[in-house]
Amino acid sequence: MTHFAAAQPPRTAAEEAAYKRRWIALLILSLSLTLIVMDSTIVNIAFPSIRATFGASFADAEWVNSIYSLIFGAALITWGKLGDQYGRRNIFIAGAIVFLIGSLGSGLAATIPVMILFRGVQGMGGAMMSPSTLSIISGMFKGRERGIAFGIWGATAGVAAALGPILGGWLITYGGATDSWRLAFLINVPIGIVAIAGSFWAIREQRDTSIKHHIDWLGIVLASLALGAVVFGAIEGQTYGWLEAKKVFTLGSFVYPQVGADGVIAAGTTSFIPFVFIFAIVMFVLFIIVETQQERRKGEPLFEFGMFRYPSFRYGLITVAIVALGEFGAILVLSIFFQLAKSLNAFETGLTFLPLALAMIVAAPTAGALSTRFGAKWVVTTGMICEALALFIIASLFNVDTPIWQLMLAFTLYGVGVGLAIAQLANIVLSDVPPEKAGVASGANNTIRQIGAALGIAVIGAVLFGNFATAAKPLVEQTTAFKDFVTWAADNPDLSKESKVIAAQFGAFEDTAKKSIETGLDNNEGFDSNTDVLDTALANIPGAAKLALKLTQGVDLDNPEVVTKIKTELKPGVDQLQAGIQRALAIGFSQGAHDATTVAAVFVALGALSSFMLPQTKIVPRGDSAPVMAH
């Protein structure tokens, strides 16, 4: 008897058109993913330039980075559910529009608070787009094509991670504008418009009409408050004081602490920051209570704590969280170190990350084959050990005189570790979760990773900038750069009388200049190496002193020609003076970078230890889609 395969129902005209355009749709989705991934890496490179444009403190600039990951992670699961219910293409296009608005606002921002606001908008747009891309791809492709499509999608993420710092660095360095870092955000606008227009044409709407999702708004609010408070405390602790108050916190009519008649905070006053952390703990406890109650009532909580009964999910998610705390913060430290301590421009800084990205791209596909043979657990553990070892090596190499090639070698080892660990760890998280819970587990994995990134950037940034200030202040105090400048000017026979007179004033200006730098460090503001010390010194000469110089020394500082002559003659010495100050600060920053990267390495090492608790699994190849895991 002859058996015939069941005939597939004919496609409608709309389905046929969408089928023919499926590869174009994949290109559009991959292009959108590129924007999301690149924007999360470009900001690390742009960090010093953004600070310089706005005169922002380290804490304010750190918010530009953290707010994106925080909102992205907090909103990811919710938008995935809304996409299932109201249409994945609809949510994807809406997300692309929101992301485009965030990019435009970030690129045109006139103040740092506006910049932070629109970075948050970008994060929301990314959270709307990201879960929809995978769902749409899964619905468009079947069988062998689905595996190819997922491979292209994953490779796009790797290439975007590799090219993001380089492209961003090139735009910042060679963009031709004063604030060329803005181009790194504005370039998203034309690309986003193309993606939106292409989505209407190439992507067919998909939605799951059989499911009516319940959105856990209370859980979202509690989780957002808890996470936001932790990130706020970690970033702003250096500004307001970790335990004892250093600065008054003001929010509308709320002011804490109250100051005396002299405007000074009383000694021993508790900072606002401990109360922030207490608030975060209370919100997190309430979140756990609300979520577990919803589970008991067979509701649809934002996070299903009951899924921790699956060992792979439990230990996998713990490992993801710990490692994310270290991975993302370490990249921020390295990006700033190269520009502030090694004086590389943004493009050169981007190029230093190329070995890391290439190693990651090479190691990732190799990890799949190794997991098939040895089990994903040992591949993940090996990868994390490589990551932790690389970070400890990098921390030991932080010095203003360390050759860059040595750091790049360590980057290669770090890239191998990330490539081995990241995808296989995601597979382990899903390995023993029932199929009907796979989407929830995947969303939880991505959410925890993004939230870990936000918290890690905040914590490691706090260590970096706090220890930088602690290490740099005595170095600034001890520098002989001012005295060396005065001696240089006094011994230089080519200088005019006016220049020698002004140079001699630097002896009196030294204490004021050093105190100004140290105050900036205390206030988490750092030091702008582009500040002209001579301009600052001239601006600090009181009017009476200027008159005295004119009457007694014949130096008329109100005469532009005289001032220009003095600046021209003293420029070589001033350059050396500024280099001396910059070196003292660079050495201090190197110490802060060492401490911060050591913390990152400890996080990753703890993740490696946690990975030993993962159940042993092996990949079982399956022809029609991504591999699945088996015990």
Out of 39-43, 278-282, 416-420, least confident range: 39-43
Long-range contact pairs involving 399-403 (C-beta distance under 8 Å, separation at least 24): 399/590, 400/341, 400/342, 400/583, 400/586, 400/587, 400/590
Residue 534: both structure tokens together: 């001579």
CA distances from 280 to 133, 256, 273 (A): 33, 18, 11
pLDDT at 331 over 70: yes
Instruction: Tell me what the mean pLDDT of segment 329-333 comes to.
Output: 89
DSSP letter assigned to residue 251: E
**Number of alpha carbons in the 13 Å side-chain half-sphere of residue 173:** 18
Lowest mean pLDDT among 241-250, 347-356, 514-523, 590-599: 514-523
Q: What is the mean pLDDT of residues 313-319?
A: 91
Pick from 87, 158, 169: which is nearest to 128 by CA?
A: 87
> How much is the pLDDT for 530?
55
Q: Give the SS3 label for residue 619.
A: strand
- Identify the pLDDT of residue 454: 86
Q: Which of 123-137, 196-210, 462-476 has the lowest mean pLDDT?
A: 196-210
- Lowest-confidence region among 315-319, 415-419, 534-538: 534-538
Q: What is the pLDDT of residue 629?
A: 38
* Angstrom distance (rounded) from CA 518 to CA 340: 17
CA separation, residue 51 to residues 80, 212, 458, 630 (Å) = 34, 46, 16, 49
Instruction: Provide the mean pLDDT of the chain.
Output: 84
Question: Range with the lowest mean pLDDT among 59-68, 131-140, 318-327?
Answer: 131-140
- Each residue's pLDDT tens digit, 163-192: 788 888 898 888 876 788 999 899 899 989
pLDDT in tens, 467-509: 988 898 898 888 888 888 888 988 888 888 888 888 887 777 7
Tokens 């081995």 locate to 420
- Smallest CA-to-CA distance from 72 within 327, 443, 603, 462 is with 443
Q: Do residues 165 and 41 make contact, with C-beta atoms less than 8 angstroms apart?
A: yes
Q: CA 150 to CA 365: how far, in whole Å?
A: 13
Strands 249-251 and 628-630: unpaired
Query: How high is the pLDDT of residue 278?
Result: 96
Pick the CATH number of 13-212 from 1.20.1070.10, 3.30.413.10, 1.10.10.10, 1.20.1250.20: 1.20.1250.20
The 10s digit of each residue's pLDDT in 3-54 is 444 455 666 665 666 677 888 888 888 888 888 888 877 888 888 889 888 8
For the cut 70, the answer to whether the pLDDT of residue 98 exceeds it is yes
Give DSSP secondary structure letters for 508-546: HHHHHHHHHHHHHHHTT----TTS-HHHHHHHTS-HHHH
CB proximity list for 110: less than 8 A, separation 6 or greater: none
pLDDT at site 182: 92
Between 108 and 366, where is the model more confident?
A: 108
Q: Is the pLDDT of residue 309 over 50?
A: yes
Sign of CA dihedral 580, 581, 587, 589: negative
- What is the arithmetic mean of pLDDT over 140-150? 76
Contact 152, 64 (CB under 8 A): no
Q: What's the rounded mean pLDDT across residues 603-619? A: 85
* Residue predicted with more confidence, 80 or 397: 397
Q: In terms of Cα–Cα distance, which of 326, 195, 319, 213 is closest to 598? A: 326
CB neighbours of 90 closer than 8 A, spacing ≥ 6?
A: 83, 205
For position 284, what pLDDT does the model report? 94
